[in-house]
Structure 1
């Protein structure tokens, strides 16, 4: 595995891990709210790396990436688009497949809205949102998740860690092993509360972008997701011209961790199809 530093929008440094075949088609994996590139460890350690080039950045404000001051650094779609553009331009081969998990779906949508699809082979949304601060966004937010946002944004360290624990509890349908849980807690804690607050304060819809999407899209969702309501997948798929849905029965918000074998298989099939056309 390689580790790179890329200058994103406004010069914000982004840490990016890369693995797999250097000349193979690229899959760009974009993590969610408060998370980290490290959440994709099953994919980096699995068979996908035998056939594809995998890239996973820490988003701005997360993990080992820069955490610029000022909420405006996290509210502008063009900044998020510039971040992904920098990663693609510097590290991707040809036209990548974009994979956005949870809040990462919003970031991917920002890129599509600003830069279009000329350099994109296909898009995968995993337990994803694509807009914030709208009625549609509120309707698909999980009740438990919405109820803990204030605690996730508190500056009180003890309360913040407690809230992170409750957040991680609803990221999967079943508890993860202790080692994985503590890894998740560690990298989630690296996202400052001020960044979490700014992420949630965003407003804007990407529905028009989805309606005009001219590359294939796959919407993956766990039937037991408590962060983003499962109906979000079908609602999003109904917007796009070429969208399909894959529902994981009994799986929560993290299909790529909870059922990595199926997730990797379906992602491999999708990526192979869209990069060969």
Structure 2
């Protein structure tokens, strides 16, 4: 082989090896394990990304699971972070207690999040909570403070379960807890459709609908009266907090929710996505992932 050709081939091989090596660091195999909350509920936890990068804990919303974050798990912009997801109690692969107090008591959801952070040994993670996940963050902040986190992102998060902040859909929530299976499943389909201004592709919607069908009926009934300690949690928080809401949200009133949160804590920053509904991380994933990465880099550098 001529020397020049050999040299080019060698360089190409080195570059290829480097690319594969970088990819293996950035996209580690998914790690699955379970942890146990203080009240005995088993929580399914998943990890991926760069195990040595800044940590993110993603907290999904009502009727979801870790599968909601598929666009983030696949994002090249986020592969440099240690990504931790878990299924909330009553959802996905986590335990589904039948006691209503297991869902009404917001402190228990806070304890779950604290258990995930402690058990995963996540160092100063950024918390990212969608919808109900925002209420979980508020309850965590009220119970545990912000000493073990770098920041928090509310994604169309529930600030308070009040009619001035929540769009009322009484017939939908009634059908979701119906003992009649068809009515129940139709209610969940309607709820899921309300999550999007721009509907996802059929395959994604069907997966999310199957995801919703796994959620506990007991949870869906009890969580509607869940305690949310937003005033205690957000008002005392000193780490950076970012609110990302879709302006076309059909479940949470974006501007009143943002106004209430910033009233509790004037240091909170917010972004309003004009073309998104309740799920901007699915509807506008590239923009969301860029905004999230910028926030994490700033928060982790403090």
Spell out, residue by residue over 1:144-194, the C-alpha distance to the aligned partner (whole angstroms, 9 max, x if none). x44411111112110011111111111100222110011000010111222
CA–CA separation in structure 2 for the residues paired with 1:234 and 1:22 = 36
Q: 1:31 to 1:266 in 2, by over 3 A?
A: same
Q: Is the 8 A contact 1:9 1:82 kept in 2?
A: yes
Question: Aligned-pair distance for 1:269?
Answer: 0.3
CA–CA separation in structure 1 for the residues paired with 2:112 and 2:139 = 10
Question: Aligned-pair distance for 1:23?
Answer: 1.5
Report whether the alignment pairs 1:26 with 2:71.
no
Question: Aligned-pair distance for 1:195?
Answer: 0.9
Aligned residue pairs, count: 272
Residue among 61, 64, 74 paired with 1:45 = 74
Q: Is the 8 A contact 1:170 1:227 kept in 2?
A: yes
Residue among 35, 38, 46 paired with 2:64 = 35
Residue among 216, 232, 238 paired with 1:192 = 216
Residue among 286, 295, 299 paired with 1:270 = 295
TM-score (norm 2): 0.87
Question: Aligned-pair distance for 1:48?
Answer: 4.1
Gaps of 5+ in 2: 1-29
Could you say what the CA RMSD is over the residues aligned between the two structures, in angstroms? 1.3
Q: 1:16 to 1:48 in 2, by over 3 A?
A: farther
Pairing of 1:157-172 with structure 2 (within 5 A): 157-172=181-196
Aligned to 2:268: 243
Q: Is the 8 A contact 2:139 2:228 kept in 1?
A: no
CA–CA separation in structure 2 for the residues paired with 1:168 and 1:78 = 26
Q: Is the 8 A contact 1:220 1:233 kept in 2?
A: no
TM-score (norm 1): 0.94
Residue among 102, 105, 108 paired with 1:79 = 108
Aligned to 1:257: 282
CA–CA separation in structure 2 for the residues paired with 1:208 and 1:87 = 22
Q: Which structure has the larger Rg? A: 2
CA–CA separation in structure 1 for the residues paired with 2:125 and 2:229 = 24
Give the SS at the match of 1:148: helix
Gaps of 5+ in 1: none
Question: Aligned-pair distance for 1:237?
Answer: 2.5
Q: Is the 8 A contact 1:9 1:80 kept in 2?
A: no
Question: Aligned-pair distance for 1:16?
Answer: 1.2
